[in-house]
């Protein structure tokens, strides 16, 4: 950090660094809290999507339907037996639309997780070194459980799925930005 004429003042650099560090920690906390809220919303969407199947209530010929995540009848596929909704679209069309919307939010959350990890890893050179974050680290307690509710875990090691384009292999960067880049010129 270059202070020019102010560098002659005693302890000004240390005080400025401490103030910047406290501000950075406050913003890190807000960023993590915002990310945690996004995950909670997506988990709620996933649970809601699973419970929006339309099953016939009671016997097969019953005119009553119920929205649920499971059927009382093993032969019921959960599509409302093709009952048209809003004149010309069946319930299954709306279920597919809801699933597509959910998937869009899931991909967005995955990308935002990558950005949050990168932003939480940025530190000035004067800041104390804290353990660096990696893609396989939980950002908050219970995050991996929440992500598994949304099918965003890769499986065995309980690691989130990396964001990627269809047919491309994804990898995370291990490079830290240089001090000059962080200063903006």
The per-residue pLDDT for range 94-129, each reduced to its tens digit, is: 778 888 888 888 888 888 888 888 888 877 665 566
The answer on pLDDT for 38 being more than 70 is yes
Res 172 pLDDT > 60: no
| Confidence check: pLDDT of 157 > 90 | no
Specify the higher pLDDT residue, 72 or 176: 72
Separation of alpha carbons 185 and 66, rounded Å: 61
What pLDDT shows up at residue 97? 83
Mean pLDDT: which of 54-58, 75-79, 81-85, 108-112 is highest? 108-112
pLDDT for position 6: 72
Position 146 confidence tier, pLDDT thresholds 50, 70, 90: confident
What is the CA 48 to chain-centroid distance, rounded?
17
Lowest mean pLDDT among 34-48, 104-118, 148-162: 148-162
Q: Coil, strand or helix: which one is 54?
A: strand
Q: Give the pLDDT of residue 185.
A: 46
Strand partners, 101: none
Query: Predicted confidence band at 153 (pLDDT cuts at 50, 70, 90)?
Result: confident
Report domain extents, the chain: 13-50+97-183
Distance CA 13, CA 6 (A): 9
Q: What value does the mean pLDDT take over residues 67-76?
A: 71
Query: What is the model's pTM?
Result: 0.62
What's the pLDDT at 30? 93
> Which of 10-24, 84-98, 119-133, 161-175 comes out lowest in average pLDDT?
161-175
Query: For 77-90, b where at least 16 C-beta lie within 10 A, e where not — what string?
Result: ebebeeeeeeeeeb
Is residue 145 scored above 70 in pLDDT?
A: yes
- In whole angstroms, what is the distance from residue 35 CA to residue 115 CA? 10
Cβ-count burial of 137 within 10 angstroms (0-12 exposed, 13-18 middle, 19+ buried)? middle
């Amino acid at each position: 950090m270059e202070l020019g004429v102010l560098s002659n003042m005693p302890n000004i650099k240390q005080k400025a660094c401490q103030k910047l560090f406290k501000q950075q920690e406050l913003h890190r906390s807000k960023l993590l809290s915002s990310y945690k809220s996004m995950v909670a919303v997506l988990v709620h969407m996933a649970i809601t999507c699973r419970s929006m199947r339309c099953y016939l209530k009671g016997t097969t010929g019953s005119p009553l339907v119920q929205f649920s995540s499971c059927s009382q009848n093993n032969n019921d596929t959960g599509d409302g037996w093709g009952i048209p909704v809003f004149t010309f679209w069946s319930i299954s069309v709306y279920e597919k639309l809801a699933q597509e919307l959910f998937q869009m939010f899931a991909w967005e959350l995955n990308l935002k997780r990558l950005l949050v990890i990168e932003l939480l890893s940025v530190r000035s050179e004067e800041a104390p070194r804290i353990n660096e974050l990696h893609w396989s680290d939980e950002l908050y307690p219970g995050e991996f459980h929440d992500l598994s509710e949304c099918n965003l875990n890769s499986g065995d090691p309980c690691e989130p799925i990396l964001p990627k384009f269809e047919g491309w292999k994804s990898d995370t960067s291990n490079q830290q930005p240089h001090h000059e880049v962080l200063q903006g010129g």
